[in-house]
Amino acid sequence: MTALLHRLAAIVGDVHLLPGEEAEDFAHDATFMEHRPLAVVRPADTDQVAAVVKACAEAAIPVVARGQGTSLVGGPVPLGGGVVVSLDRLDHLEIDVSNTVAVAGAGVVTGQLDQAANRHGLMYPPDPASVEMCSIGGNVACNSGGLRCVKYGVTADYVMGLTVVLADGRVLRLGGRLRKRSSGYRLIQLFVGSEGTLGVVTEVIVKLVPLPRHRAAAMVTFASVEDAAQAVSRVLASGHLPAAIELMDRVTLRLVRAKLPEGFDPEVEAVLLVEQDGNDEEFVQAELLRMVELLGGVEDRVAQSSLERERLWEARREFGKVLMAIPHRFFPEDVAVPIGSIPEMVRRVRRLERDTGLEICIVGHAGDGNLHPTILFREEQRHLVGPTAARIFQDAIELGGTISAEHGLGALKRDYAEAEHGPLALGLMRDLKRLLDPQGILNPHKVLPEQPADETFLERLPGWVPADGRGRRMEAGL
């Protein structure tokens, strides 16, 4: 280990190597799972990343790529120890206006990429709730989504090129600045959503779209969450395509009441926050009003200015911040179902809430079926959280959905992967992992199930600990 640390220091410089005992900030993510790495390195470019990975491969030491650590599934937690490769110094950014693309180092913060594009009249649409903190490399690793996905799509829809360091240190360059290509397998998509288990992404080329000149938003209230869910299906089936349509229930509204518009009643059962955008102001406003009418809510609040519109969105974005201010007492989930199944999924969550006595707030990107049922619990209810989360996963799968729409599987959800994908697909995934990472050193213990058949997911949440003792049970849970 000493020889490896000396070699890593020679690659990145002593100042950019942090020994494990000083790496507290790199031992966990937003889930509060924790495991100390052997060391943390902060390479400056792809060549240094490649040299680091090669050195670790030759020593058979695990490598965990890390962006900003905003993962909600334990993705960047170094459960196998080893070396954490922090990509924060890979922050170069080019806005190529003539080709309407951005070329970004993996460490570039996604919100800063979008702001840089905005200055040229362009936009990078995917906008996770953590857009002000998360990195583009992390977004690629998890195929992140966000509020605008209903109209614009997810990260995978924008990745045109990647630079990837493979498990043996070789550098693979895929794609480029062109928008069409039909030659060979689509290897780019193999790495998007692979959570650093197949390679370390160091640079990304993403396409940009014209920045809409006008936006209009409204908040519509409903007598029940089920009514709101049915209204979403009704609007989308009518042929309208909002830029965003977000769902918040009564519990969520109580949590963000300080950010609600003046005079707004936080005790309503549910709201939909709907936005439309475009270049014709009159058309955008008229389209919004037509959607509000179709939604058929109890009451509506249409923003009369850009300031009011921002205020509405501030309430939605505040949700994550409020949760982080009450740590260790919430469990956020990330399921998605077909749009027509949203009302049934909501009914099942409400039934689960009644059966368990837990408080489950529902917030999510209703326009693409992505719901975030978030379990709020007291200490004496902690034992109920794991079975409740597992039931939510099961319900989503039964309705033709997924256990992870935009957060990835990481460590917390990996043991449910086969329930969603089936043994044949899981077998192919394992084959790909062995092909690209034969030593299994890239972000081990993530994505693919490892547990023995008699160890259930239910016994592992919250406060995750594997059977072999890798990782430390967190008294704080998630």
Q: In the prediction, which pLDDT does 308 show?
A: 87
Of 156, 372, 167, 148, which is closest to residue 251 (Cα–Cα)? 372
> Can you give the pTM of this predicted structure?
0.90
Residue 339 amino acid letter = I
**H or E stretch including 359?**
strand 359-365
The ranges of the chain annotated as CATH 3.40.462.40 are 214-398
Measured CA to CA, the distance from residue 470 to residue 464 in angstroms comes to 10
Residue 361 amino acid letter = C
Q: In the prediction, which pLDDT does 259 show?
A: 83
The CATH architecture assigned to 2-86 reads 2-Layer Sandwich (3.30)
The ranges of the chain annotated as CATH 3.30.43.10 are 2-86
Helical residues (DSSP H) of 333-422, grouped into ranges? 342-356, 382-398, 417-421
DSSP letter (8 states) at residue 150: H
Residue 218: Cβ-neighbour burial (10 angstroms; 0-12, 13-18, 19+): buried
Q: In the prediction, which pLDDT does 264 show?
A: 78
Q: For every one of its 478 residues, what pLDDT tens digit does the chain have, with 9 covering 90 and above? A: 889 999 999 999 999 999 988 888 999 888 878 999 999 999 999 999 999 999 999 999 999 999 999 898 999 999 999 999 999 999 999 999 999 999 999 999 999 999 999 999 999 999 998 889 999 999 999 999 989 999 999 999 999 999 999 999 999 999 999 999 999 999 999 999 999 999 999 999 999 999 999 999 999 999 999 999 999 999 999 999 999 999 999 989 988 888 887 777 778 999 999 999 999 999 999 999 999 999 999 999 999 988 889 888 888 888 877 877 776 688 889 999 999 899 999 999 999 999 999 999 999 999 999 999 999 998 899 899 989 999 999 999 999 999 999 999 999 999 999 999 999 999 999 999 999 999 999 999 999 998 653 344 434 444 333 333 333 332 222 2
The ranges of the chain annotated as CATH 3.30.465.10 are 93-210
Q: In the prediction, which pLDDT does 379 show?
A: 85
Pick the CATH number of 93-210 from 3.40.50.12660, 3.30.565.10, 3.30.465.10, 3.40.50.1980: 3.30.465.10
What number of other Cβ atoms are within 10 A of residue 445's Cβ? 23
Q: In the prediction, which pLDDT does 451 show?
A: 60
Structural contact between residues 124 and 110, judged by C-beta atoms closer than 8 angstroms: yes
Of 419, 355, 104, which is closest to residue 113 (Cα–Cα)? 104
Q: What is the CATH number of domain 214-398?
A: 3.40.462.40
Q: For residue 394, what are the contacts with CB-CB under 8 A and spacing of at least 6? A: 419
